[in-house]
Amino acid sequence: MSRAILWFRNDLRLNDNPALNAAVRECDEVVPVYVLDERYLERDRWGIRRTGPYRLKFLLESLYCLSECLRDKGSRLIVLKGLPEGELPRLAKEYGCSRIYASKEYTHEEIKVEKAIDEACDVQFYHSSTLYDPEQLPFAINQAPDVFTAFRKRVERYAAVPEPLSPPDEIPGPELPDTHIPSVESLGFKMPPADERAVLEFKGGAMEAHSRLDHYFWDTESLSSYKETRNGLIGADYSSKFSPWLANGSISARTIYYEVESYEAEVEANQSTYWLKFELLWRAYFRLVAMRYGRRIFFPGGIQDKAVDWKEDKVAFSNWCAGTTGDDFVDANMRELLLTGFMSNRGRQNVASYLVHRLKQDWRKGAAWFESLLVDYDVCSNYGNWMYAAGVGNDPRDRIFNTGKQASMYDSDGAYRQLWLKEHELAAAAFIEQYL
Ligand SMILES: Cc1cc2nc3c(=O)[nH]c(=O)nc-3n(C[C@H](O)[C@H](O)[C@H](O)COP(=O)(O)OP(=O)(O)OC[C@H]3O[C@@H](n4cnc5c(N)ncnc54)[C@H](O)[C@@H]3O)c2cc1C
């Protein structure tokens, strides 16, 4: 009899999960495990907590949903807190597992952990978070096009997005203990009160991901006007809001891609439906950048290793974090982030440009702040977009945004700024301490 561990990482789903399908196909019994990596709960080199309460809550909800889905298939989820490279070999021994199945990650720290586990156990990795299978791309990773448009044209023409996999009917396994998922508070975090101005009440888990998809595509047909609304700032439906579920893998990019294709066949295909696929390509592209450049995506000079003299101004940085810079468009966006864990793409581009080009602060501090706060933090998308904004990524141009002009274009009646600036006596101040 063969038994294996299925190590869940940023693939918290049963649908379209190649590692899960392979484990069930190749082994008699499967032991599903998630390790809450304690390093992600610590502070980084700037003293910022790497995971803030918004994403932590979302993650715990996602784990709860995953554990319920596993239970429906006759299995259980083991949730542990610690270091995966310590916990997994120990569990493999305890349960007599000869192999570990897992999804691949593409960034430095995660790869280090993979290597450490690989030294102790037999591990098989699968590509679950990418749109395209990296091994089937029409170019070698180290020769991948550096410019997004060139990448997009090559993959659109020469690569196919693999069809999503169906989940296994059953997940056989040994008798496992009841799942215990810690609370946000038990992990030492204080949850900010829900803010009614939030674009959406994000709830973690595959079920919620699919109901958001149904809402955006089938119930409201918002997808049909995505290209016109995607630069919006207020409300649930100006953009898909799929990012938090995509980030922890509650839903796969391939599932969304094929759902767009179904929509195109059944409702309509227009520029907006294409544009959602186009944005998924940006996500795919930043994964490729991470695969190709490794640690360099975390260098102060980015993948270009450009010499830039970043300034160190703690006051300017904490004003930026708290939304008290004096630039009302930047401040409104930063307060939305602080009080809800989300910010629009338009907002992100503006506040990033302001921190880097106006305040001349190290872009990695901004990226670290986003890492802590964002409910949808994704290492490749975050560091890739920040490098881009800082002019140290694939596009060497300085992408300087005139925030005043941007505000008059995208918030012409001032409604967004009014929404977030009106009650400033910082509710935010109460929460900022737990981050900084
Ligand atoms: C400085 C900065 C930091 C960012 N950090 C993150 C991050 O940590 N995590 C994250 O998911 N996105 C990040 N983004 C990209 C983008 O802002 C968000 O993906 C988007 O706002 C999420 O909202 P949505 O799901 O409604 O997007 P939609 O507009 O509905 O797009 C659909 C999906 O396409 C993908 N996508 C869209 N734009 C981008 C982009 N520029 N780069 C990569 N993928 C994209 C996302 O997966 C998104 O969910 C960042 C952008 C900037 C400028």
Following DSSP, what letter does each residue of 165-220 receive, concatenated? PPPPS-------PPP----TGGGT--PPPP-TTSS-----SHHHHHHHHIIIIIIT
- If one residue of 382, 385, 388, 392 were mutated to test the ligand 1 pocket, choosing by the most ligand atoms within 8 A of its CB, it would be 385
Burial tier of 317 (Cβ tally within 10 Å: 0-12, 13-18, 19+): buried
pLDDT score at 395: 77
Q: Structural domains in the chain?
A: 3-128 (3.40.50.620), 129-163+206-298 (1.25.40.80), 302-432 (1.10.579.10)
- Rounded percentage of the chain residues whose pLDDT exceeds 90: 93
Is the pTM for the entire model greater than 0.95?
yes
Ligand 1, atom 1, lies closest to the CA of: 386
> From the CA of 88, how far away is ligand 1's center (Å)?
32
> From the CA of 432, how far away is ligand 1's center (Å)?
24
> From the CA of 343, how far away is ligand 1's center (Å)?
10
> Which atom number of ligand 1 is nearest to the Cα of residue 246?
47
Ligand 1, atom 49, lies closest to the CA of: 243
For 164-197, what is each residue's pLDDT tens digit? 999 999 999 999 999 999 999 999 998 988 999 9
- If one residue of 374, 381, 410 were mutated to test the ligand 1 pocket, choosing by the most ligand atoms within 8 A of its CB, it would be 381
Contact 7, 156 (CB under 8 A): no
196 contact partners, CB below 8 Å, separation of at least 6: none
- The answer, yes or no, to whether residue 249 has pLDDT greater than 90, is yes
Contact 102, 123 (CB under 8 A): yes
> From the CA of 405, how far away is ligand 1's center (Å)?
22
Per the model's pLDDT, the better-predicted residue between 280 and 397 turns out to be 280
> From the CA of 16, how far away is ligand 1's center (Å)?
21
Ligand 1, atom 46, lies closest to the CA of: 243
Rounded mean pLDDT, 84-109: 98
Q: CA 115 to CA 112: how far, in whole Å?
A: 5
> From the CA of 381, how far away is ligand 1's center (Å)?
7
| H/E segment holding residue 404 | helix 403-410
User: At 394, is the pLDDT very low, low, confident or very high (cuts 50, 70, 90)?
Assistant: confident
- If one residue of 106, 263, 278, 279 were mutated to test the ligand 1 pocket, choosing by the most ligand atoms within 8 A of its CB, it would be 279
- CA angle in degrees (0–180, nearest 5) for 427-430-433: 140
φ, ψ (nearest 5 deg) of residue 23:
-60, -45
Tokens 């989940």 belong to: 167
pLDDT score at 433: 65
> From the CA of 243, how far away is ligand 1's center (Å)?
6
Ligand 1, atom 36, lies closest to the CA of: 279
> From the CA of 247, how far away is ligand 1's center (Å)?
10
Reduced to 3 states (helix: H, G, I; strand: E, B; else coil), residue 331 is: helix
- The answer, yes or no, to whether residue 436 has pLDDT greater than 70, is no
**Cα 17 from chain centre:** 17
Ligand 1, atom 30, lies closest to the CA of: 240
For 271-307, what is each residue's pLDDT tens digit? 999 999 999 999 999 999 999 999 999 999 999 989 9
Ligand 1, atom 17, lies closest to the CA of: 345
Burial tier of 250 (Cβ tally within 10 Å: 0-12, 13-18, 19+): buried
The binding-site residues of ligand 1, defined as CB within 6 angstroms of any ligand atom, are 230, 239-243, 246-247, 276, 279-280, 282-283, 286, 344-345, 348-349, 352, 370, 374, 376-378, 381-382, 385-386, 389
pLDDT score at 422: 79
- The answer, yes or no, to whether residue 430 has pLDDT greater than 60, is no
